[in-house]
């Protein structure tokens, strides 16, 4: 059947309205595992880098240690020994003359002679200067003349008194005349005593015209030249004498140590004291503790002590600054090494212990020190050898070449 001629009916549009709907979304994939892998890779790379650096440092340290072990350093060694270590207190002191005297004239007059040299050592009784004695010689002559006159008058009064006694016994004179004559004799007797005192005074003034040294010591600079008029009231005097043998040192210690010092001083009145120079290295003199001051200085919290030294070699001089060591006790059987052997590091004190031609680091605990010696409480025993010079070039386990101590000043100072 031919349908070309048949009209097709147009499609009927639906009156219903349809809304546009988007296509459904696809679910997102989570990437946490990717970040986890990245972090793990970073950690693994950092760990490998750290291992490489540690291995590199270890190899460098091993190479340095190997080179150090092959290298030989020249050092000076000393042997630890057992000995007695004194327990000391240290302080700062000042030398003071044991006695100081200002030489003055005791009479007025012209200085006619100066018999000393400035800085001279004089002995007690030595003539130092003379004052013109003529004035006092005249006074002595006057007093002697007065004595002679009064003695003559006394003799005459005594003769008359004898006569008056006879006349009174014969009842020729009254009792009053006898008593008056007796009183006159007493007056002349008193006058004679006064004349004798005037004579003694004039002789004493003549003695004072000779100025002598009141003590033995060193005389200072002359303050008055010959020819000047001196007076007993002069403040400056002629010169000053300081006693240097013996000599004293005044020093201070903290008040906390005072009970210990007093206890030891009561048990031993002759506590030894050593004086050292300003640097504390050279010993100047040895003496004994004389006394302790009767009070503590509240401003400094210290107590002042006084020691006496013989000073036969004149090593100490007044107002000299010194370092003082007061020995209170002695520790027996201590292990002692030179102070130059002690090294300091971040971990504390140590020494280079010598064994089989090598130097090894050994920590030690130090105790008391005395001069160039230090006691070791822990770390060494008697007979151990330690390095006292050349330690600045050493490392642990390094080979060493021992040289003679006499060729090095440090070794000499350390007592090696």
Q: How many CB atoms lie within 10 A of CB 180?
A: 12
**Centroid of chain to Cα 205:** 47
Is 282 domain-assigned?
A: no
Are residue 338 and residue 400 in the same domain, yes or no?
A: yes
Residue 70: pLDDT band (50, 70, 90) is low
Is 281 domain-assigned?
A: no
Residue 365's domain is classified under what CATH number?
Answer: 2.40.420.20
Nearest Cα neighbor of 357 from 65, 63, 70 is: 70
Residue 74: pLDDT band (50, 70, 90) is confident
Question: What is the residue whose two structure tokens read 């401003």?
Answer: 299
Domain boundary among 176, 208, 240: 208
Is 309 domain-assigned?
A: no
Q: How far apart are CA 222 and CA 317, in angstroms?
A: 19
pLDDT higher than 80, residue 285: yes
pLDDT in tens, 208-266: 999 999 999 999 999 999 999 999 998 889 999 999 999 999 999 888 888 889 988 88
Is 170 domain-assigned?
A: yes
Residue 3: pLDDT band (50, 70, 90) is very low
What was the pLDDT predicted at 32?
A: 74
Measuring CA to CA, how many Å separate 238 from each of 114, 220, 379?
9, 10, 64
Are residue 79 and residue 147 in the same domain, yes or no?
A: no
Is 297 domain-assigned?
A: no
What was the pLDDT predicted at 71?
A: 67
**Quick one: what percent of the chain has pLDDT higher than 90?**
42
Antiparallel, parallel or unpaired: β 239-242 and 247-254:
unpaired
Residue 142's domain is classified under what CATH number?
Answer: 1.10.287.470
pLDDT in tens, 125-179: 999 999 999 999 999 999 999 999 999 998 988 898 888 888 888 888 888 888 8
Is 202 domain-assigned?
A: yes
127-131, strands of its sheet edge to edge: 210-212, 127-131, 109-114, 229-230
Q: How many CB atoms lie within 10 A of CB 271?
A: 20
Are residue 137 and residue 75 in the same domain, yes or no?
A: no
What was the pLDDT predicted at 193?
A: 93
Residue 414: pLDDT band (50, 70, 90) is very low
Domain boundary among 187, 208, 229: 208
What was the pLDDT predicted at 415?
A: 39
Domain boundary among 185, 208, 231: 208
Domain span including residue 383: 68-84+332-414
pLDDT higher than 90, residue 55: no
What was the pLDDT predicted at 30?
A: 60
- Full 3-state SS string of 125-173: CCEEEEECCHHHHHHHHHHHHHHHHHHHHHHHHHHHHHHHHHHHHCCCC
pLDDT in tens, 323-375: 998 888 888 888 999 988 999 888 889 999 998 888 899 999 988 777 688 88
pLDDT higher than 80, residue 29: no
Rounded to the nearest integer, the mean pLDDT of the chain is 84
State mean pLDDT over 25-32.
60
Is 361 domain-assigned?
A: yes
What was the pLDDT predicted at 292?
A: 92
Total domain count, the chain: 2
State mean pLDDT over 46-63.
84
Backbone φ and ψ for 230, nearest 5 degrees, come out as -110, 155
Q: Is 160 exposed, middle or buried (0-12, 13-18, 19+ CB in 10 A)?
A: middle
Residues 6 or more apart from 37 whose CB is under 8 A from it? none
What was the pLDDT predicted at 64?
A: 67
pLDDT higher than 80, residue 269: yes
Is 204 domain-assigned?
A: yes
DSSP 8-state assignment for residue 367:
E
What was the pLDDT predicted at 170?
A: 83
State mean pLDDT over 291-310.
92
What was the pLDDT predicted at 355?
A: 87
């Amino acid at each position: 059947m031919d349908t070309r001629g048949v009209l097709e009916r147009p499609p009927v549009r639906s009156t219903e309205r349809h809304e546009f709907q988007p296509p459904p979304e696809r679910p997102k994939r989570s990437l946490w595992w990717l970040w986890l892998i990245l972090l793990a890779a970073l950690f693994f790379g950092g760990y490998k880098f750290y291992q490489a650096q540690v291995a590199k440092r270890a190899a460098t340290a091993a190479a340095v240690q190997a080179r150090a072990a092959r290298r030989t350093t020249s050092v000076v060694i000393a042997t630890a020994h057992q000995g007695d270590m004194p327990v000391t207190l240290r302080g700062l002191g000042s030398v003071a003359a044991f006695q100081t005297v200002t030489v003055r004239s005791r009479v007025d007059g012209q200085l006619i002679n100066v018999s000393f040299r400035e800085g001279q050592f004089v002995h007690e009784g030595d003539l130092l200067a003379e004052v013109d004695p003529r004035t006092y010689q005249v006074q002595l002559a006057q007093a002697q003349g007065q004595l002679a006159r009064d003695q003559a008058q006394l003799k005459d009064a005594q003769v008359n008194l004898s006569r008056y006694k006879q006349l009174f016994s014969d009842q020729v004179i009254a009792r009053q005349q006898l008593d008056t004559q007796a009183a006159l004799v007493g007056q002349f007797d008193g006058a004679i005593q006064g004349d004798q005192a005037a004579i003694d005074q004039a002789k004493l003034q003549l003695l004072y015209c000779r100025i002598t040294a009141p003590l033995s010591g060193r005389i200072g600079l002359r303050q008055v030249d010959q020819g000047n008029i001196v007076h007993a009231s002069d403040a400056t005097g002629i010169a000053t004498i300081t006693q240097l043998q013996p000599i004293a040192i005044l020093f201070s210690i903290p008040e906390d140590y005072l009970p210990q010092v007093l206890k030891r001083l009561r048990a031993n009145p002759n506590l030894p004291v050593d004086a050292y120079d300003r640097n504390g290295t050279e010993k100047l003199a040895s003496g004994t503790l004389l006394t302790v001051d009767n009070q503590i200085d509240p401003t400094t919290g210290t107590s002042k002590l006084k020691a006496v030294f013989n000073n036969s070699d004149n090593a100490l001089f007044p107002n000299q600054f010194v370092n003082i060591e007061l020995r209170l006790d002695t520790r027996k059987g201590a292990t002692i090494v030179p102070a130059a052997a002690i090294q300091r590091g971040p971990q504390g004190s140590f020494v280079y212990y010598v064994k089989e031609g090598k130097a090894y680091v050994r920590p030690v605990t130090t105790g008391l020190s005395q001069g160039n010696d230090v006691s070791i409480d822990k770390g060494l025993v008697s007979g151990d050898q330690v390095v006292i010079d050349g330690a600045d070039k050493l490392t642990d386990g390094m080979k060493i070449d021992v040289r003679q101590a006499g060729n090095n000043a440090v070794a000499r100072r350390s007592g090696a």
